[in-house]
Amino acid sequence: MTPKHIAVIMDGNGRWARRRGLPRTAGHAAGAEVFRKIATYCKDIGVEHLTVYAFSTENWKRPEGEVSTIMQLLEKYLAEAIEKMERDGVRLRVLGDISALSENLRTLIARTEEISRRVEGMQANICINYGGRDEIVRAAARCAEDGVAVTEENINARLYSAGIPDPDLVIRPGGETRISNFLLWQSAYSEFYFTDTLWPDFTPRELDKAIAAYNKRERRFGGVK
Ligand code: FPP
């Protein structure tokens, strides 16, 4: 069965570039291309949601040049998506605190999300200035502001991901086996797949392998079989 929602921590861009004697930023550019290919593949095989971690609340600590390259890649991707979204059948949503982003990026995000409302097809969720803890804290604070009880349902409805089903499968390429503040709430019952392949080397075949591994797992959601 194809998972309905796949989430990916796009890790290993920097190492991929270094191994080729290139600046780290070249790894992010290669990573953005791979995201494009994997999103198209996900759409073709019937995935409903693909969520990727593009920039975390902690990534601001990186050198200024690297941060601005990632922001430029996101701007480029969103600007191109505006042109092609209706034709490609991929909707876009951005998850994270976008208030810290440039005005240009915020305008592009607003425009892509507006077009997405009339497009049918797979949804790509791009996490930008996203942190799982930050998201949960904000949702709890919003419960208080709204004067509602802090329940799972009320938190869920106030997360950046409100309305998006929880990920079935979380993939982390790049050899590390940690969650790095990604979808902490949503991945409570997700299956995890780790691979040493660096994100810029990740292919649709590798995704097939992750899905095959996922299909061998027995999901019990805390119950018994
Ligand atoms: C992690 O690899 C990757 C990032 C922090 C940035 C991911 C961003 C992109 C792929 C570009 C924009 C995305 C889209 C959706 C257009 P790393 O730099 O930590 O790699 P390393 O562990 O090898 O150093």
Q: Tell which phi-psi region holds residue 135, choosing left (phi > 0), alpha (psi between -120 and 50) or beta.
A: alpha
pLDDT score of 175 more than 90: yes
Lowest mean per-residue pLDDT among 13-17, 192-196, 220-224: 220-224
Question: Which residue among 13, 44, 59, 134 is the active-site one?
Answer: 59
105 lines ligand 1 (CB under 6 A): no
Distance 54 CA to ligand 1 centre (A): 6
130 lines ligand 1 (CB under 6 A): no
Of 43, 44, 108, 48, the closest CA to residue 72 belongs to 108
Of 168, 161, 170, the closest CA to residue 48 belongs to 168
Dump pLDDT digits (tens) for 161-171. 999 999 999 99
**Structural domains in the chain?**
5-213 (3.40.1180.10)
Atom 4 of ligand 1, nearest CA residue: 54
Query: The pTM is what?
Result: 0.96
139 lines ligand 1 (CB under 6 A): no
Dump pLDDT digits (tens) for 69-86. 999 999 999 999 999 888
Active site residue 181: no
Alpha-carbon span 113 to 104, nearest angstrom: 14
pLDDT score of 220 more than 90: no
Dump pLDDT digits (tens) for 94-151. 999 999 999 999 999 999 999 999 999 999 999 999 999 999 999 999 999 999 999 9
